[in-house]
Amino acid sequence: MCIAVPGKVTEINDINMATVDFGGTTKAASADLVPDVEVGDYVLVHAGFIINRLDEEEAQETLKLFDQYMGILDEEDDEVSR
């Protein structure tokens, strides 16, 4: 399964590589597929490429769902280790 992860663009350099903040962790991602991306935009990143822009509300909802999912996985890990 492949998952595109939402993050916030904090910088774009002169070769169209963006720095994207994923909740405190930053990674480089190519902005070539979505050339109108700007600093401050929320984006979906997959395999090192920005594949879509998101509005802030949509990004926050997606991040909330990721947090809920991770919480479920943590609970399952706790049950297995008992």
Identify the residue with better confidence: 66 or 17: 17
- State the Cα angle at 19 between 17 and 23, rounded to 5°: 150
The domain made up of 5-81 is a member of CATH 2.30.30.140: yes
Residue 22's Cβ-count burial label (10 Å; 0-12, 13-18, 19+) is: middle
Provide the mean pLDDT of the chain. 89
Domain ranges of the chain: 5-81
Given a cut of 70, is residue 77 above it in pLDDT? no
C-alpha of 42 from chain center? 8
Of 4-13, 46-55, 59-68, which range is least confident? 59-68
pLDDT tens-digit series, residues 52-64 = 999 989 888 888 8
pLDDT > 90: percent of the chain: 56
pTM of whole model > 0.95?
Answer: no
Are the C-beta atoms of residues 43 and 30 closer than 8 Å to each other?
no
How many residues comprise the chain? 82
